[in-house]
Each structure stands twice: as structure tokens, then as C-alpha cells.
Amino acid sequence: MEPTKSTNLLDRFNQWLKESITVKLVSIGFLILILLIPATWIESMIEERQHRAESVIAEVSNKWSGNQTLSGPILVVPYKHRETIKIDKDQFEIKESTRKAFFLPETLDINGTVNPEKLHRGIFDAVVYESSLTMKASFNKPDFKRLEIAEDMILWPEAHLIIAISDLRGISKNPPVIKSGSKNLTSEPAQNIGISTHKFEQQVQPRAYDDDGSYSIKSATGIAAPLNWNIETDFASLTEINFNLKGSSQLNFVPSGKTTSVKLSGPWPDPSFDGEFLPATREVSDTDFTATWNILHFNRPFSQQWKDSHQELVGSEFGLKLLVPVDQYQKSIRTAKYGILIIMLTFVALFLVEITQKIRIHPFQYILIGAALIIYYTLLLSFSEQVGYNVAYWISSIATVALVAAYSTSFLRNRRLSFMFTTLLVIFYSFIFIIILQQDFSLLIGSVGLFLIVATLMYFSRKVDWYKDSAAVE
């Protein structure tokens, strides 16, 4: 009789394993944990593709010309500086050197037209532009007394204007045309112009001290133009600079004038106005944009004039960034983060169907459905690179729902159950799509949606006999 009792006990244990709700829940939980591994791989793959796209865009942009930051024009007036140096007890030496004084314009008006263009590298697009800029500046006669510079030490014949340009490769068609009153000035490219107008330069470039005790950043570049001014009359003249400038993605300005006005326009529907100042007025349509800025010297962290020491004209840049609507990677990453939610809701729905309709679903069938839900994200990523995120979402969703729905007919008893299960999947994917699109209200919509889902699960599970396991063992 003992072998019979042992056999009966084993049969009862096997029967409990097959019918136990607890064992089924533990099995489903384990499968979900296993499916988290490929879900993490999917997120890593999306990030890798995003980095690849960014590197390709940066490579294409750099071959055209980099982001441009303009500062100036700035009046530079060299002067003699004499310093008495004690050599011995009763011996002194007078050392004479040439130093520079810098003066910003009283008013600065910039008017520009930006003409964007897309460059292609494989499936990736990079936006570049050609701009036509007109800069008008007026200067007051410098007050050298405030800088403690004697009039007889000023080297007026060496006075010149400088305009800082972050990437001189952008000047490719014609040299800048600079006019001061009725005079045409000749400009030349210049290195080490003694100012910094870019935060990146400020952070990574070492300071190199000059012979006069000042320092400059070696990567600071621009153009310089000798003035040949008559100091009594030419200060009242308006200085005008006209030039074409190429760049990539961004065009920024430093508010060099005591009052600075900038107006930009161009045929681009997706501009972003970046920097420390927003436009005073802006108009953006489906085809073009127009924006104007008005800035006072009170709003910037540097002075109107200085001498000797290097001046960093940073902390007040503003301007335009041309956006390319390539947010499919960010949206795909956000969608992938909901992958565990989709898998859990799908498995819970199948579990409720299984225990309420007395249908047996094998763990391997759960795994195949989970695999289809994971592969969905590779479909989404690959299609979004070709046709955009929105279209790719629905292509991938329809394909995945159709596949899982067709497979569910092999273990669900009737068409009504298959239809209900398919409807649930459609609701799940539509719910996630709404959350992704509504960024401002995603938390609210997600919270309300999850609340309704939990309420629905409570409703359909209210008649489940959760103590069936104990009764079966007894």
C-alpha cells in the first residue's frame, strides 16, 4: 500500500503544479524578469543609433563649417606703456611696451537672412546654412582718462577694428566689406585677437601670456581692419560691415553694443531661439520665421571698455538654432521604457483569461508572445529612421498586434476571446502613443490610465478563487 500512497501524493503534487494560481503567477513573474534582459538590450541599441546619428551629423557639419558665434565690431587702440624697473640700489630702467585698449560700440544693429540647407549622409540629415549679415555700429570717442592712458601715448595710426568669428571657414564667397563713413576698409583674417566669445574655448583652451602682460586664447579668431581714422571727425561716422557667413545648425551673437538690436529671418519652420536672451518679437510659420532681439549693456556680464587684460565676452550669447525634426530616437527610448508595462499588462490579461475561462496557456506560449512584444521595438527603431516616428509606431504596432492576435487563436477557445484580447492590445499601444505625444500631460494621462487599468483588473478578478490552491492540497 505504501507505493500507492506515494504515487497518489506525487500525482496530487503534479496536479497542484498544473492548477496552482500561485505557481502560475510565479512563472509569469519569472518570464517577465527574463524578458527584461532583451528589453535592456533594445534601449542600448536605440542609444547607440542615436549616438551614431549625432556623430554623422557632427562630421558633416564640421566639413561645411561649425556653429558660428559673432562678436563685435570692437575698436582696438594700441598705446605705449612705460614702466620703471629698479635694477640696482640707485639704478632704474624705463621699459616701454605696446599695449591695447578695447572699446565696444555705442549702438549695434544687425540684420541678417539665414538660408538653411539639408545635407545628407546615408539616412541621416544635417542642417547647415548660408547667411547674409549687415552690421551697423557707431562709436563714441574713447575716454582714455578713465583707463588712465595719457593722450600722447596713444598710437592712433595702429588703431583697428576686430570682429570675432568662431569659424573663419564660414567666410567662403567674398571677403567682408567694411565701410567707415565714406571710407572702405581692408580686412584680413586675424588670430589671437585678445577676446573669447565662446564658452567652449574658455573652458578648454589654456591661457597664453603675451609680452605686454596680457593673455589671449589661442583659438580666438576673427577679422581685423585698420581704420586710418581722423580722431576728430570719424568717430561720428557709422561703421557698416556686410558679409556672407556659412555655418552649421547655430548662429549666435554677443551683445557687444551698449544697445544691441538683432533681426534674423529665414525660410525654416523649426527654429529654436537659444541663449541667454529670448527674442523680443518672433513670428514662426510653416515655411519661415522672423525674430528680433533688443539688449542693453546692463544685461551682460562685461564692461564697455577695458585695457591690457584679456576680456571674456561670454555669458550673454543668444541666437538661433535650426532644428531638424529627428526626435525619433528620444521618442523610441521613451517608448521602450514602457516595454515592461506592455509585457506585464499583456501577460496579466492572458492570465485572467486563463483562470476565468479555464484555458491552459503553456509558458512557452507566453515566451513567444513576449518575444513578439520585444521585437516590436526593433521594428519601431528601424522604421522610424526611414519614415519618422509616428508612421513607424503604427506600422510596428499593427504588425505586432496582428501577429500576436493571429497566434492567440491557437490557444483561445473562440473568436470572441481573441477579439477581446486583440482589442486590449490596441488599447495598450494607443495608450502609450498618447503618452509619448502629450509630453506636458504625460504624467497626468499615464496616472489616470494606469488607475483605470488597475480598476479594470480588480473588476475582472473579483470572482477568482485565490484559495483554490489550499483546497486542492487538502
396 and 426 part of one domain: yes
* Residue 79 domain-assigned (yes or no): yes
Task: Please name the residues in contact with 427: beta carbons below 8 A apart, sequence gap of 6 or more.
Answer: none
Q: What pLDDT is recorded for position 229?
A: 66
* Residue 255 domain-assigned (yes or no): yes
Q: Rounded to an integer, what distance in angstroms lies between the CA atom of residue 214 and that of residue 98?
A: 11
463 and 336 part of one domain: yes
Q: What pLDDT is recorded for position 53?
A: 74
pLDDT in tens, 169-214: 888 777 888 888 777 888 887 776 666 554 433 333 333 334 443 3
Which residue in 202, 217, 206 sits closest to 317, CA to CA? Answer: 202
Residue ranges, the chain, pLDDT below 50: 1, 198-219, 470-474
Q: What pLDDT is recorded for position 111?
A: 93
114 and 248 part of one domain: yes
Number of domain units in the chain: 2
Among residues 322, 341, 369, the one where a domain terminates is 322
Q: What pLDDT is recorded for position 25?
A: 67
Q: Rounded to an integer, what distance in angstroms lies between the CA atom of residue 323 and that of residue 287?
A: 13
Residues of the chain by 3-state class (helix, strand, coil), percent to 5 = 45, 30, 25
285 and 345 part of one domain: no
Q: What pLDDT is recorded for position 413?
A: 72
E strand segments, 21-175: 68-86, 92-103, 107-121, 124-138, 160-165
Q: Rounded to an integer, what distance in angstroms lies between the CA atom of residue 279 and that of residue 267?
A: 17
Q: Rounded to an integer, what distance in angstroms lies between the CA atom of residue 221 and that of residue 201?
A: 11
Q: Rounded to an integer, what distance in angstroms lies between the CA atom of residue 299 and that of residue 277?
A: 9
Among residues 272, 296, 322, the one where a domain terminates is 322
Q: What pLDDT is recorded for position 61?
A: 73
The domain spanning residue 123 has which CATH number? 2.60.40
pTM over 0.85: no
Among residues 306, 322, 338, the one where a domain terminates is 322
385 and 435 part of one domain: yes
Q: Which amino acid is at 165?
A: I
What three-state secondary structure class fits 99? Answer: strand
181 and 247 part of one domain: yes
* Residue 212 domain-assigned (yes or no): yes
The three cell numbers locating residue 156: 592712433
User: Can you give the length of the chain in residues?
Assistant: 474
Q: Helices (H), strands (E): how many in the chain?
A: 10, 21
Cα distances from 445 to residues 209, 346, 435, in angstroms, run: 59, 20, 7
* Residue 57 domain-assigned (yes or no): no
* Residue 429 domain-assigned (yes or no): yes
399 and 254 part of one domain: no
212 and 138 part of one domain: yes
Q: What pLDDT is recorded for position 109?
A: 93
The three cell numbers locating residue 369: 508572445
Phi, psi of 351 (to 5 degrees): -65, -45
316 and 338 part of one domain: no
Q: What pLDDT is recorded for position 207?
A: 39
State the residue range of the domain holding 349.
Answer: 2-52+328-473
Q: What pLDDT is recorded for position 345?
A: 80
137 and 278 part of one domain: yes
